[in-house]
Amino acid sequence: MQRRQALARLGLLTAAGTLGGAAALPALAQSDRPITLVVPYAPGGTTDMLGRLLAQHLGTALGRTVIVDNKPGAGTAIAASHVARSAPDGNTLLVATSTTLAINQWLYRKLPYDPAKDFTPVALLGSVPLMVVVHPSVQARNLAELVALAKAQPGKLSYGSAGNGSPQHLGAEMFKAATGVDFTHVPYRGSAPALADLLGGQLQLMFTDLAPALPHVRDGRLRALAVTSGHRQTSVPDVPTVAESGVAGTRDFEAVAWQSVVAPAGTPAATVQQLNREIVRIVGLPEVREALLRQGFEAGSSTPEQLGAYMRSESERWGKVVLAAGATLD
Start-end of H helices in the chain: 2-10, 26-29, 46-62, 77-84, 98, 104-107, 143-152, 167-179, 191-199, 210-218, 269-283, 286-294, 304-325
For 151-201, the pLDDT digits (tens) are 999 999 999 998 888 889 999 999 999 999 999 999 998 888 999 999 999
* pLDDT tier, 307 (very low <50, low <70, confident <90, very high otherwise): very high
Average pLDDT over residues 203-212: 93
pLDDT for res 60: 94
Query: 119-134 and 223-227: which strand pairing?
Result: antiparallel
- How high is the mean pLDDT of the chain? 89
Check residue 258 and give its pLDDT. 94
The pTM (predicted TM-score) of the whole model is 0.83
Total number of domains constituting the chain: 2
Residues 57 and 123 in one domain: yes
Confidence of residue 27 (pLDDT cuts 50, 70, 90): low
Domain membership of residue 250 (yes or no) is no
pLDDT bin (cut points 50, 70, 90) of residue 267 is very high
Average pLDDT of span 301-317: 95
Domain match, 157 and 303 both: no
In the predicted structure, residue 40 carries a pLDDT above the cut 90 = yes
Q: State the pLDDT confidence band at 326, using cuts at 50, 70 and 90.
A: confident
Average pLDDT rounded to a whole number, residues 263-268:
97
The answer on pLDDT for 327 being more than 90 is: no
On whether both 8 and 124 belong to a single domain, the answer is yes
> Are the beta carbons of 135 and 222 closer than 8 angstroms?
yes
168: which residues sit within 8 A by CB, 6+ positions away?
Answer: 130, 160, 161, 162, 191, 194, 206, 207, 208, 209
Q: The domain that contains 9 carries what CATH number?
A: 3.40.190.150
- 148 and 103 fall within a common domain: no
Task: Tell me which residue of 157, 151, 162, 161 sits closest to 135, measured CA to CA.
Answer: 157
Q: Are residues 65 and 213 in the same domain?
A: no
Query: What's 219's domain CATH number?
Result: 3.40.190.10
- Domain assignment present for residue 181? The answer is yes
Question: How many other C-beta atoms can be found within 10 angstroms of the C-beta atom of residue 155?
Answer: 10
Domain, as residue range, for 17: 2-128+257-325
pLDDT of 12 strictly over 70: no
Distance CA 107, CA 205 (A): 24
- Looking at residue 190, what is its pLDDT? 83
pLDDT confidence band for 2 (50 / 70 / 90): very low
